[in-house]
Structure 1
C-alpha cells in the first residue's frame, strides 16, 4: 500500500512512496561520483551536497516534475582521474554555466547540437567512461580482496534483479566501515565562505574540459531531457529553458563550494522508473542531501575504503558506456564514438572532442 500526502495548493507536489523510491533512483549515480570526487580532490563534500540539495528542491518546485540534478560527468570525471584540479574544475563549471545561460537565453541550443553531432557527444561519454574505468582499476588494486568482495555484492544483487540498488548497498557498506573506523561524526553546518576549496583557475585543461562538457550537456542534459519530459511526463519543457536553469545552477553553486551541475535524461528516466511523478521527489532528495551534508566530515571520507570506491566507479563507468552506445544505430556513428573515446583516453578529452567534431563535419559534407 502506498502512502501519500498531496498539497492541493501546489498541484505538482506530492509525497508518496513512489516519490521516495524515485528520489533514491536518482542518487544511485550521483553519490558515488561525489564521494569519489571528494576522495581524490580538495573539494568539500558538505558544500557540494548543499548545492545538490538546494537545487534539487529549486528545480523540482520550478518545473513541477522530478527533473534530475546531476554532476557534469565529463568535468567531474576528469577531476576524479586527476586531469583537472578543483580550481580548474570550478573555472570550467563557471565558464560552462555562463555559456549555457547565454545560449539558452538566445535560443542557440538546437543550432549548437547540429554543429557538434551526436556521435561526437556520445564519444565524449565513452572517453569519460574509459577514464573512470582506468581510475577504478587503480583504486581497486590497493586492496584487491575488498574490491573483489564489493564486486561480488554488486554481481549478486544484479543477478536477483537489484542491479541499480547494488550501488547504494556498496556505498552503505563503505560508509559503515568508515564510521566503524572514525566514529559517528558530529553534525556541523558547512562554512558559507566563497570558494572554500580554492579559487577558480582558468587553464588550457579547464578550457578543453569546458568545450567537451558543453557538447555532452547540450545533447543530453538539454535536448534529450526536454524530449523525455514530454515522453514521460507529458510536459512541454524547452531545451533552451533547461540550458538556462543549468547555467543559473552552476553560476550560483560553484562560488559557494559546489561543483558543475546539470540536468540529464538518464537521471530523469531513473526517477520515473523508480516511481517518481512530481517535484515532490526532488524535495525529498534535496532534504536528504542537506541532511547528509551535516555529517559528511573529512575524517569519515578519508576512512572510506578506496577499493570499494573503485567498485563504485566501475559500475558508473559501465552505465556511462552503455548510455554512450545505446542510441548508436549505424557503423559510421559507431566508428566516431569509438574513435573519440580512444583518443580521449590516450591523449585528452578536449583533443578528442575537437578532432571528432572535425571528422563529423567532414563526413557530413559527403552526404
Structure 2
C-alpha cells in the first residue's frame, strides 16, 4: 500500500513501489563516481553521502519531482584523474556554486547559454570520459586478473540487457570483496567540521576546471533538466531556479566535507525510466544514502582494480552521450584537447571553433 501526500497546489508525493524502483535511476553513475573520489582523493565518502541524502530529500519535497542530485562530473573526473588537487577541487566547487547562485538570481545563465553550443558541452563530456578511461587503465594495471573478473561481470550484466546497472553491480562486487577482506566496518557518524580535509586553493587549474564544469552544468543540469521536467512531467521549472538550487548545494556542502553537486538530465531521465513520478523517489534515495553513510568505512578496503572497471563503465557512458551528435569532429577535437592539455582550454577553444563554424556554415 502506497503512502501519498498531497500538496496544497494539488500535486502529490508518493512512496509507492514505483518510487522505490525509480530511486535507483539516480544512483547508477552517482555511487561509482563518489566511491572513486573517496578512494583516490581525500574526499570523505561518509560526508559526501550525507549531503547527497539531505539534498535528495530537500529537492524532492521542494519541487515535488524526482530531480536528480549528482556530483559535478567534470570536476569529479578531473579530481579522480589527478588533474585537480583536493584544494583546487574545493575551490572550483565553491566558485562554481557562487556563479550558479548569482547567475540564477540575475537570470544571467540563460543568456550565457546562447553562446555555448550543445556540441561544446558534449566535447567537455568526452574530455572527462577520456580522462576517466585513462585513469581506469592505470588502475587496472595494478591487478589485471581482478580487473578482468570485474570486467566480465560488467559485460555479463550488459549482455543480459541491464547496461545502465552494470556499474552498480560492479560496485557491489567491489564492496563485497572489501567486506570479505577487511570485515564490516563499524557504524560511524561523520562529524561536520569545516574544511577538515583541506582548504580551497584558487589556481589556474581550479579556474579552468570550473569553466569546463559550468559548460556542462548550463547545458545539462539547467537547460536540459528544465526541458525534461516539461516533457516528462508536464511541469514548468525555471532554469534560474535550478541554477539557484545547485549554487546553494555547493556553497552549503563543500565547506563541510561534501562534494560539488548539481542536478542533471540523465539522472532525472533515469528515475523516470525506473518508474519515479514524484519527489517520493528522492525521499527514498535520500534515506538510503544516509543509512549508507554510516557504513562508509567499507571504501577503505575497496580494490583499486575493480574501481578501474567502474571508471571505465562511467567513461563509456559519458563518452557515448558526448558522441551523440552530427558534428563529431568538434566534439572529438574538444575531447582530445581536454585530455592532452586541460578542460578549461578545451572549453574556450571549443566555444571559439563553434562560433566560427556557425558563422561559416
Matched with 2:138 is 138
Matched with 2:47 is 47
Describe the SS at the equivalent of 1:28.
coil
State the distance in 2 between where 1:210 and 1:105 align: 19
State the distance in 1 between where 2:40 and 2:158 align: 28
**1:45-84 alignment to 2 at 5 Å?**
45-84=45-84
Q: Does 1:194 align with 2:194?
A: yes
Q: Cα gap change, 1:137/1:365 in structure 2, threshold over 3 Å: closer, same or farther? A: same
Residues 136 and 310 of structure 1 are in contact (CA less than 8 Å); yes or no, is this contact kept in structure 2? yes
**1:1-367 alignment to 2 at 5 Å?**
3-8=1-6, 11-297=11-297, 300-326=298-324, 328-329=325-326, 333-367=327-361
State the distance in 2 between where 1:109 and 1:26 align: 25
TM-score under structure 1 normalisation? 0.95
Residues 123 and 341 of structure 1 are in contact (CA less than 8 Å); yes or no, is this contact kept in structure 2? yes
How far off its partner does 1:165 sit? 2.1
State the distance in 2 between where 1:364 and 1:160 align: 42
State the distance in 1 between where 2:159 and 2:184 align: 33
State the distance in 2 between where 1:356 and 1:335 align: 11
How far off its partner does 1:365 sit? 2.7
How far off its partner does 1:156 sit? 1.1
Describe the SS at the equivalent of 1:7.
strand
Describe the SS at the equivalent of 1:199.
coil
Q: Deviations over 1:248-299 (max 9, x none)?
A: 11011111111110000000000000111100000111111111111111xx
How far off its partner does 1:185 sit? 1.2
Residues 92 and 207 of structure 2 are in contact (CA less than 8 Å); yes or no, is this contact kept in structure 1? yes
Residues 12 and 65 of structure 1 are in contact (CA less than 8 Å); yes or no, is this contact kept in structure 2? no
State the distance in 2 between where 1:234 and 1:51 align: 28
Residues 46 and 190 of structure 1 are in contact (CA less than 8 Å); yes or no, is this contact kept in structure 2? yes
Give the unaligned 5+ runs of structure 1.
none
Give the unaligned 5+ runs of structure 2.
none
Structure 1's consecutive aligned runs of 4 or more residues displaced over 4 angstroms after TM superposition are none
State the distance in 1 between where 2:79 and 2:350 align: 22
How far off its partner does 1:9 sit? 5.6
Q: Deviations over 1:154-185 (max 9, x none)?
A: 11111111222222221111111111111111
Residues 56 and 283 of structure 1 are in contact (CA less than 8 Å); yes or no, is this contact kept in structure 2? yes
How far off its partner does 1:110 sit? 2.1
Residues 41 and 80 of structure 1 are in contact (CA less than 8 Å); yes or no, is this contact kept in structure 2? yes
State the distance in 2 between where 1:165 and 1:361 align: 38
State the distance in 1 between where 2:137 and 2:300 align: 19
CA RMSD, Structure 1 to Structure 2 (Å): 1.2
TM-score under structure 2 normalisation? 0.97
Q: Deviations over 1:294-325 (max 9, x none)?
A: 1111xx32211111111111110011011112
Residues 44 and 196 of structure 1 are in contact (CA less than 8 Å); yes or no, is this contact kept in structure 2? no
